[in-house]
Structure 1
């Protein structure tokens, strides 16, 4: 698997580029960050506000091979990505202009270490109107992108793979739980989690 972990210098340069490309002056106005997976609870910053947000024309899907956090180089797990599709509901956090770079630097160290994403500014719909939010779109040129993974192959990977942060099944269950707790259940992920739990239970019975 041909990839490398980004250095701190590369992370800082990437963050600088994204902030410079923002549709507003990030030093004067607060910024929005839209999350759809692991940062739904306990993000690595203290937001000024949060609200449900919907991205039309995008959807979350397990499409990124994970050779580190939830898998290994020999048995890569799967991570959620954001690709073109129907709709994706998540949480938008408002980050204060005075701390936005420090806040996002911690996010970058979590989310951008592996070559998974292209950070994008996208329009999102919230209960209080439209916002432009920063979010993490799947990098179509990433060596870890797997766009044609079948559902049976996806279930097999999610059921068996483990990495530095635990099992892939735990990651899926935790995402499902967090989405439900913030009032944004995802029926597709619910169905996937049920099938993964069934596969894992069947394996335990065979032992």
Structure 2
């Protein structure tokens, strides 16, 4: 069957946790990185949910595609399912991703289930920051999760303006200036 690919858009990019023979910058069209899942355990509580990343429909997402040798397919697939499918909030999909250089490969990735009760929908940066800034769960402070994600993305030279806007609001609490009407 040959090698297979895995697309990462969040912590999987800098902490994949599985054997791979190559990691390449990649773009997934039709999905965007978003704080669209309420977290009631790791980054929040049932009383004060936080937000974690998911791939939601619309736009595009730059991430990392990992090439996995066929001999590792079964072990990597089992690992990913244990890591990503603990709840039913994500769905495993095989989707085309565009690698740097122009090649298109089919990659396993995990997209948000919009019908899951923890799906938060499309939030504007101000609302997302408001939720994140007061949430803490078993894995720590929700704001730290967002700020760390933005820092890691920047270290990989990946820009995500929406998430960077949320992070800026968390750091300084400011609102963006409203451009004057034309």
Structure-1-length-normalised TM-score = 0.78
**Counterpart in 2 of 1:168?**
142
Does 2:37 align with 1:70?
no
Does 2:176 align with 1:195?
no
Report the Cα distance in structure 1 between the residues aligned to 2:74 and 2:46, rounded to whole angstroms.
Answer: 32
Equivalenced residue count is 173
1:121-160 map, 5 Å: 121-128=94-101, 129-160=103-134
Report the Cα distance in structure 1 between the residues aligned to 2:85 and 2:167, rounded to whole angstroms.
Answer: 25
SS at match of 1:98: helix
**Counterpart in 1 of 2:59?**
86
Q: Deviations over 1:63-113 (max 9, x none)?
A: 111111111121111111111212110000011211122123222222211
Structure 2 residues not aligned, in runs of 5+: 175-182
Structure 1 residues not aligned, in runs of 5+: 1-27, 201-207
1:50-65 map, 5 Å: 50-65=23-38
Report the Cα distance in structure 1 between the residues aligned to 2:122 and 2:165, rounded to whole angstroms.
Answer: 19
Structure 1: 4+ residue segments shifted above 4 A: none
**Contact 1:159–1:199 (8 Å) recurs in 2:** no
SS at match of 2:146: helix
Report the Cα distance in structure 2 between the residues aligned to 1:195 and 1:150, rounded to whole angstroms.
Answer: 12
